[in-house]
Amino acid sequence: MTRTFTVHPSSGLARNWDLEHDLNDAQRSAVTCGQGPKLVIAGAGSGKTRTITYRVAFLLMKGLHPSQIMLATFTNKAAREMLSRVETLTGSQSAGIWGGTFHALGNRVLRQYGTLVGLSANFSILDEDDQRQLLKVALADAKIKVEQKRFPAPAVLQDLLSLSFNTQQDLAKVVEERMPHFSPWMEAILKIAAGYEAKKRSANAVDYDDLLRYWWLLLERHPDIAQRLGGQFRAILVDEYQDTNTIQACIVERMAQHNGMNLMVVGDDAQSIYRFRGANYDNILKFPQRNPKTEIFKLEVNYRSTPQILEFTNASILHNSTQYQKILTAQRPSGSLPVVIPIQTAFEEAAFVAERILQLRDEGVPLAEMAVLYRAHAHSTILQAELIKRNIPYEVRSGIRFFEQAHIKDVVAHLKILDNPFDEIAWRRLWLMLPRIGNATTQRLWQKVSQAAEPFVAAVDPTLKDILAAAAQPAFIRFQKDLRSLRTLAQETPSASTLIQTVLETPYLDYLRATYESFESRLEDLQQLAIFAQAYRTLRGFLSELVLLGELYGQQMTSGAEDSERLILSSVHQAKGLEWRVVFVIRMCEGAFPSEIALREEQGEEEERRIFYVATTRARDELYLTYPLMDMSLRGNRGMLLHPSRFLREIRFTLYEQGQIESLPQAWSDLN
């Protein structure tokens, strides 16, 4: 006689949830759906993380073993947060779940199967600095002869190689489209790229992109492994699918072919804003076309923002023609309308924002619950200075504090030697920018210059070049010529702003382009520095203020607990996924937001509008949008009126309040 026993799949798991109470109808449908490909379009503030977490918990309760679930996220922090919530819901350990970034998951897969694609089991992973050092070695081995034109630095080469991989485009095409000024070096770049690959293999090392590259090769060349992995992972979930690149989408969709297409991808097409990193918008937009019988869920209930803010953001994104149509509805009580405020200049914009922040703090809004967002890091320049002057502690999340950036220091070094030709640090920085000049040579140059009664005169003396090797002399002679012109100009005008613009007309621009990644954004930084310098009557006053601003900022950062709370400054890209009670979006004018550069690209306007959508949906209670009316640049447009951003003009005026400035505090009145 045979006895039959029944084992319930959920045995041993606590059920610390109530699906009817904890989830809305759309969330519940996505969490409890059956097998097959699923696309969850999760609008801003609609409970995306909760939905994914409950889905994983639901699968565990249905009997899946943790090792049968793969959860791909874009940060390890996000994965840890989700898995921690799963443990809270189920009372079980989630350690067995394969959760993490694509690169972390790729590492785990390749540790098991990497030998099949030529990797040793003990391969090393190169971090970004390691990659640049190895590229530097490959560059040296290639023995590139650099004369007048500058060759791209390892950091720039690293960006080009990574972009080529992430967009799945030939390296030559990437160079031609993104950095055409390096096209004459194409043969040498390809040679270095090949040398870099060879050195990685000989060192038994991979970089971050290789973790995806070899994972994909494994699936392509070994169908049996693809089938094994698909069989292991009975459920695959991917967060932020709109931000995946082509290879990432290919990997998960290929593995899912062997598990009955039990693949759930979650994201918001309206928040696809990382094309510059290689993200492929079609991954989420055309997911149903690539995966027939896809079931689509839309999470359209917003729990973050007031109805007024949400109606404003909805009105903007509706102007995009390529998207999944959805209308977010608010669950929160009514609040105030967003406020759009035209202001005369960028200086007055900074003064207003700082003043309003102080008012809100006095009204009980903590600094940490306020953020200032901008399209480009350069747009925070004048605001940072204003915040320091008013002793408002802040944290920059869009990069290094503006005045501490290397390219800012490069240009300031030009100005320092005009004001103080005995500044050894500034001279050394300038000399080291020149081709074929290293630390030993700068030491000899300084010994010669520092002994002179007039160091500047000695530094531009034609005979000084004799210290250098012949190959270094042409660029050095040009540098001396530019310095003489710069000094003549400085004697004619005290304007630091004009001097900065003049530096940008020298070969330093070639150095900037060849040495640093993100050339366009760094150039914009320097143009903003020139605008900032307009507020100072003398070069010495400007240079002194830079030092004092740095000192004041340092005092803020080392102050006591009372200042532990800080205002957040962030680019929109860095702010994605975050929220604050009050949000300011600055520089809402044409040419700044949307970005003039981005508009030149195909579908650029729609992505810029998605960036604007992300910015406005960060606000919970209050939203302020400001734009200067006057162009402050020295590019021939100074004094011309600026137009408000098209993203403001296309929104019905009844959806926001028009603000106006009656009087501003006497900012910048004590300038030197």
Which of 445, 375, 378 lies closest to 417 in space, CA to CA? Answer: 445
Give the chain's count of helices (H) and strands (E): 29, 17
Task: Decide if 239 is catalytic.
Answer: yes
Q: Find out whether 387 and 394 touch, Cβ atoms under 8 Å.
A: yes
From the candidates 207, 209, 210, 240, give the one annotated as an active-site residue.
240
From the candidates 587, 609, 610, 618, give the one annotated as an active-site residue.
618
Strand order in the sheet with 98-101: 98-101, 69-73, 235-238, 263-267, 38-42, 295-299
Please give the single-letter amino acid code of residue 659: G
Task: Decide if 618 is catalytic.
Answer: yes
CA distance linking residue 160 with residue 152, whole number of Å: 10
DSSP bridge partners of 298: 41
Q: Find out whether 360 and 370 touch, Cβ atoms under 8 Å.
A: yes
Task: Decide if 22 is catalytic.
Answer: no
Residue 481 CB coordination number (10 Å): 13
Which of 242, 304, 258 lies closest to 618 in space, CA to CA? Answer: 304
Q: What share of the chain is helix, strand, coil (3-state, %, to 5)?
A: 55, 10, 35
Task: Decide if 131 is catalytic.
Answer: no
From the candidates 90, 271, 534, 617, give the one annotated as an active-site residue.
271
Which of 164, 183, 185, 165 lies closest to 174 in space, CA to CA? Answer: 164
CA distance linking residue 104 with residue 440, whole number of Å: 42
Task: Decide if 48 is catalytic.
Answer: yes
In DSSP notation, 57-114 reads: HHHHHTT--GGGEEEEESSHHHHHHHHHHHHHHHSS--TTSEEEEHHHHHHHHHHHHG
From the candidates 27, 38, 48, 253, give the one annotated as an active-site residue.
48
CA distance linking residue 454 with residue 475, whole number of Å: 23
Contacts of 567 (CB under 8 A, 6+ apart): 357, 367, 368, 370, 371, 372, 387, 392, 393, 394, 395
CA distance linking residue 93 with residue 65, whole number of Å: 11
Task: Decide if 49 is catalytic.
Answer: yes
Count Cα atoms within 13 angstroms, Cβ side, for 137.
Answer: 12
Q: Find out whether 102 and 248 touch, Cβ atoms under 8 Å.
A: yes
Q: How far apart, in Å, do the first and last CA atoms of the chain sit? A: 101
From the candidates 209, 239, 524, 621, give the one annotated as an active-site residue.
239
From the candidates 49, 331, 473, 506, give the one annotated as an active-site residue.
49
User: Which residues are designated catalytic?
Assistant: 48-49, 239-240, 271, 618
